[in-house]
Structures are given as C-alpha cells and as structure tokens.
Amino acid sequence: MSNRIDITFQHLRENKEAAFVAYICAGDPSYNASLEIAKSLADAGADIIELGVPFSDPQADGVVNQLAAERALKAGMSVHKLMDLIREFRTTHDTAIVLFTYLNPVYAYGYEQFHADAAAAGADGILLLDLPPDEIANNKELTSAEGLRHITLVSPSTPLKRKQMLAAQSEGFIYAVSRMGVTGSQQAPSAGIGELVASIKACTDTPVCVGFGISSPEQAAEVAAASDGVVVGSAIVNQVAQNADKANLAEIVRDFTTPLINATKNRN
C-alpha cells in the first residue's frame, strides 16, 4: 500500500533534494491556529508535517515543547480532536503527516484503534518516543496495529548492534538525534552528524533525517548536506509561543520557516 512518506522520499531522491520536516504541537495555541499553521508550513514547502500529540508528561522534550503541550491541553486539545484536525487538513493538503507522541495517549485511546483511526483520518506515520521497538515483539497487543509507518529514533550513543536492529525494522525514515539531551534549539547540532548518518546508512536504505538543535538556515543547509532530511521543531514552536496572540500567527511562522526550507533544498 502506497504511503505519502514513501512517495515523498522517492520524489526527493529523484530530484536530489533533502526533506524538510516541520514539527508543531497539535492544538497550540488553539485548534484553529495550529491547523492554519500546519497549512502554512505545507504551503511554504515543508515535505512532512510532524504533529505533536499533547501529553502531560513529555519527558523527552525541552521546555519549549513542554510549554506547547501545556498550552494545547489548556486549550482543550485531545486525541479525538487530533483526528478531526488531520481530517480537516486533508480537505486541502496532501503533505505527509507524522504523529510525534508518547505511548500513554495512544494506549489510553486503544493502540490498534489509534492506528486505524489516525490512518483513516489521513496520518502516515508515527514516532512513539518512549516505546522501545524491541519491546513491541514482547507485547502481542502492540503487534497488530497497521496503517502507519513506525519511525525509529537513533542517537549518537546507540551501539552498532542496536543500530542494526533499529535499521532493519525502520519504516518511512529514521529520525537521527543530532545530540544527546531533550528537544530544543538552545544547543547547536553536533559536529559529528556526518559520521552518525553514515553509520546508519551503512545499515539500511531507509532515509535518515536529522533533528534536535536546528534553528537557522545555515544549520539546516549543513545538516541537509549530510543527510536525507532536516527536522526543525523547537525553533518553530518558539515562534508560535512568541506570537500566539497575533492574528497573523500562521503567516509569521511561515515567514520564519521559509528560509530554513530554502536552505534545505539548496544543498550542494
């Protein structure tokens, strides 16, 4: 079955371009505002929209994304509304969507049902931050879910044997964490990105996208030159936080992100 993520990377490979993956938290600062931001990012040329599922205990996130989840939850965002948001986005846009989430909201919803409903709504992939992929095989209820590509995380400290295991079961793309720690643009990407990406690509043909700490066009261009894609999250979310009360919020986010997208596409 064709999947927008796979189609996107096939197109990018043919054009020798890197992907730009833009992260926002669904429902931040409100349902309607986040929908318009997602549309504006797609219109600006983002190849994949990564929608964060707001959760009360996002332990892998830095303060910027933690506050985004808090704002979204206070605004009444829920998993059911997330499904509505995806469906509404799909009435106008075909950009691939990856859900960035923790296991708790998915499990509470119903693991298999979440996958079925999200895929039916128009989502294409899922990144479960706190579910070790090798644990899935040990839990029968986690093996029957279909419809979404499962994105895997690889960090600079991942041992070779585990890297090979993660690469073997990777789907859609691999999210390579540029440095240790939580999400956030307060630290620049690691200088060893090229080596990290090369070590992953030695194990798989699955595209490798790099995230954590990318906040400028210069950084985006550097990462794009060494990988198959660039993930920008906290820097975009910070724009949402700083301009949440402005009527032209989606336009502000688009204008901030466009130079990063252009830098990603203009790699040598």
* Spatial distance between the Cα atoms of 110 and 222, rounded to a whole number of angstroms: 40
Contacts of 208 (CB under 8 A, 6+ apart): 173, 174, 176, 197, 200, 201, 227, 228, 229
pLDDT computed for residue 135 by the predictor: 82
* Spatial distance between the Cα atoms of 127 and 151, rounded to a whole number of angstroms: 5
- In this structure, what is the dihedral angle of CA atoms 36, 41, 42, 48, given to the nearest 10 degrees? -120
What pLDDT, in 10s, does the model give residues 151-206?
999 989 899 999 999 999 889 999 999 765 545 544 556 568 899 999 999 999 99
- Which fold would CATH assign to domain 19-265? TIM Barrel (3.20.20)
Return the closest-CA partner of residue 52 out of 5, 4, 86, 93: 86
Taking residue 195's Cβ as centre, other Cβ atoms within 10 Å add up to 12
pLDDT computed for residue 53 by the predictor: 97
pLDDT computed for residue 132 by the predictor: 84
pTM beyond 0.75, yes or no: yes
pLDDT computed for residue 266 by the predictor: 73
- Which two structure tokens, joined as six digits, stand for 70? 């808090």
- As annotated, the active-site residues are 50, 61
Residue-wise over 120-155: b if at least 16 C-beta within 10 A, else e?
ebbbbbbbbbebebeebeeeeebeebebbbbbbbbb
* Spatial distance between the Cα atoms of 65 and 239, rounded to a whole number of angstroms: 11
pLDDT computed for residue 38 by the predictor: 98
Which segments in the chain show pLDDT lower than 50? 182, 185-186, 268
pLDDT computed for residue 185 by the predictor: 47
* Spatial distance between the Cα atoms of 164 and 162, rounded to a whole number of angstroms: 5
Contacts of 173 (CB under 8 A, 6+ apart): 5, 9, 19, 151, 206, 207, 208, 209, 228, 229
pLDDT computed for residue 133 by the predictor: 80
47 near 5, Cβ under 8 Å? no
Separation in Å, CA 26 to CA 51, 78, 87, 124, 167: 6, 9, 13, 15, 28
pLDDT computed for residue 257 by the predictor: 98
Q: What are the residue ranges spanned by the domains of the chain?
A: 19-265
pLDDT computed for residue 172 by the predictor: 96
